[in-house]
Amino acid sequence: MLNKVFHFDTPREPYIADAAVVWCFDHRFHLAFAKFLKRSGVLTADVIKVAGGAKALAAPAGDANREFVVEQIRTSVRLHGTKRIILMLHSDCGAYGGLSAFQNDAAAEAEHHEAELARAARTVTELLPGIEVRAYFVDFDGISQMTPATG
């Protein structure tokens, strides 16, 4: 028998997600992440948290993590009418070996993650044509948007 330990009231109606967000579960960025989403107008998000965040989408085809994240995005689109995907990576991510994997060179790390975000964005746009994709890199003093590739 279930024993209720916490009571709350929440709407039962289905919702439309402002975005599906692929993000890492590193708690150091939790407050900045929440504030950023709110400031970006994302009040209702389907947050897909996996180690490394968008790294799973930059992985080679056939990778189990990639397939899992793609299916989560498709489910968000199908169930919650999501029209925007937000991809995020952060500095000192353990899934990439931390900043030390880049010889503690923050610029080299950011450059690498920008390339990873571009690969992840291409994966999403190839598998879900017509969906808006935005990509961001988070470090310890801010969030930078990746400029979409042109032509």
Which of 55-69, 75-89, 123-137 is the least confident region?
55-69
Percent of the chain at pLDDT exceeding 70: 97
Residue 151 above 90 pLDDT?
Answer: no
Please give the backbone phi and psi of residue 23, each rounded to the nearest 5 degrees, phi first.
Answer: -145, 155
Q: What are the residues whose beta carbons fall under 8 Å from the beta carbon of 26, sequence distance 6 or more?
A: 90, 93, 94
- The pLDDT tens digits for 71-99 are 999 999 999 999 999 999 999 999 999 99
Please indicate, yes or no, if residue 24 is contained in any of the structural domains.
Answer: no
For residue 11, tell me if it sits in a domain: no
The answer to the question of residue 18 being in a domain is: no
Q: What pLDDT is attached to residue 59?
A: 78
Q: What is the pLDDT of residue 105?
A: 98
pLDDT score at 63: 84
In a domain, 78, yes or no: yes
Q: Residue 138 phi/psi, 5° resolution?
A: -115, 125
- Let me know if residue 118 belongs to a domain: yes
Q: Is residue 107 part of a domain?
A: yes
| Number of separate domains in the chain | 1
- What does the chain come to in residues? 151
* 31-35, 125-129, 144-148, range with the lowest pLDDT: 144-148
Mean of pLDDT values over 13-32: 95
φ and ψ at 24, to 5 degrees? -80, 160
Give the tokens for residue 30: 């939790």
Q: Report the alpha-carbon distance of residue 98 to residue 33 in Å, rounded.
A: 19
Torsion angles phi and psi, residue 116, rounded to 5? -60, -45
Is 70 within a domain? yes
Q: Domain range for residue 71?
A: 34-140
Q: Reduced to 3 states, what is the DSSP secondary structure of residue 40?
A: coil
Report the percent of the chain where pLDDT is more than 90.
Answer: 90
Residue 83, domain member (yes or no): yes
The residue-averaged pLDDT of 57-73 equals 88
| Half-sphere exposure (Cβ direction) of 26: Cα atoms closer than 13 Å | 22
